[in-house]
Structure 1
């Protein structure tokens, strides 16, 4: 049984069919994108090989198809961003494997993963440079979820993402959604060693950070993710706060597929 928080309530659920659907979408998109890339290269070669013709009305080489901008029904090859400026990520941008997590700071099972499982994964995979961890915030449990996600982003901008996440989840109850008023969010920043607390407090009211959280939540839902924590590595998806052995198997398999261990 998977322990997962589902949009406004906490429950124990079996593996969701949406997990298989998302995995299939990731695999299908990877194949489609490879085919499109091959076609684009072929067409470009044909275009470059054509004579341009003389005179004022000479033909111009046609532009290669734009495969970088998928249509509205397309699915990205990977949900990993690999953005070197992403403050919500840990590990080298060129790591062979990226583990993406969607989480809500008011989800007790997200706290369970961060407190019990994440330290081992960071030590064994991320800190050794083999895996990059990317965090996606979602607001599934009301206004306090949004405020907490804004606080994470504010701390991350001051280089304390990892520390803030640990401080917030360390204070989480074993069951139920924690109450996270502004005073607690500031207290977590103090515990995490956020250097400029006055700036942090101002950033809690930033509209751009709030909009980023709202967009991240919409993006997750558009992928069919309605429960947290939720994880993707390559074209494999894992729902729930699974035991550390499940994540070791997942990451070892993905590393092997990438040609490294």
Structure 2
């Protein structure tokens, strides 16, 4: 289990860039509607991932102190504490782009974890609302039984997010049974006050750092926004490994 220093406070230096990205997305949706499309994608739908790479970089403050995201005894952290590279993922279980990234890129990231080159810290920011919060509690409960990735894969099965109706406590408990969890313990942990507090803390951590859209990533303190292609992460990890 990874153990780190206490969190530090940082300025929200990338918020203006995220606002620009959101504005650009809204303009794109307006243009789509003008061409005759019925409606824009909504939370829980699964549009095709945007292949455009958006790398956020402030030349005067390009890095974020990684200790800002670290917590002691965190069940959502995987990989050695002394790994040369740390990847923090801010996600949401109703986010179609998070689902696509989990299918296409996460398996390669887990290979780096197995090799001892990468530590992943997973954070649900729950920008889609209450169903996402419930799913985050369920994922945290699964992580307490050391089955975070198995449960994560079930919620993002086939690279698609679940609809809110598929993220009810009943549906999430069925998913727990599917991946072989102790359902009684899962239910207890999912409803525990400590789980709710951990989920709220993770969400606050994301918004405090400016992660208002999903997925957002910090790779050794360097931010990336959006469902980046796998090669973007592979290249960044290899470069970071080489510099250590």
Q: TM-score, normalised by structure 1?
A: 0.68
Is 1:119 matched with 2:107?
yes
8 A Cα contact 2:51 2:229, kept in partner: no
8 A Cα contact 1:96 1:131, kept in partner: yes
Rounded to whole Å, the distance in 1 between the matches of 2:149 and 2:120 is 11
| Number of positions where the alignment pairs a residue of Structure 1 with one of Structure 2 | 203
Rounded to whole Å, the distance in 2 between the matches of 1:181 and 1:174 is 14
1:142 paired residue number: 129
1:251 paired residue number: 237
8 A Cα contact 1:230 1:239, kept in partner: yes
Rounded to whole Å, the distance in 2 between the matches of 1:93 and 1:235 is 15
Is 1:107 matched with 2:95?
yes
Structure 1 gaps, min length 5: 30-75
Note the C-alpha offset of 1:78. Answer: 3.9
Is 1:206 matched with 2:195?
no
Q: What is the 5 A alignment of 1:232-243? A: 232-243=218-229
8 A Cα contact 2:76 2:122, kept in partner: yes
8 A Cα contact 1:108 1:177, kept in partner: no
Structure-2 change in CA distance of 1:172 and 1:178 (3 Å): farther
Q: What is the 5 A alignment of 1:20-31? A: 20-21=57-58, 25=61, 27=63
8 A Cα contact 2:53 2:228, kept in partner: no
Q: TM-score, normalised by structure 2?
A: 0.72
Note the C-alpha offset of 1:176. Answer: 7.2
Root-mean-square deviation (Å): 3.1
Note the C-alpha offset of 1:223. Answer: 0.9
Q: What is the 5 A alignment of 1:188-199? A: 188-194=175-181, 196-199=182-185
Structure-2 change in CA distance of 1:172 and 1:202 (3 Å): farther
8 A Cα contact 2:126 2:133, kept in partner: yes
Runs ≥4 residues deviating over 3 A: 8-17, 23-27, 76-80, 171-179
Rounded to whole Å, the distance in 2 between the matches of 1:110 and 1:193 is 24
Structure 2 gaps, min length 5: 1-20, 27-41
Structure-2 change in CA distance of 1:137 and 1:77 (3 Å): closer
> Once the two structures are superposed, what CA deviation does each residue of 1:131-172 show, in whole Å capped at 9, x if it has no partner?
111111111111111100000111111111111111111166
Rounded to whole Å, the distance in 2 between the matches of 1:229 and 1:189 is 24
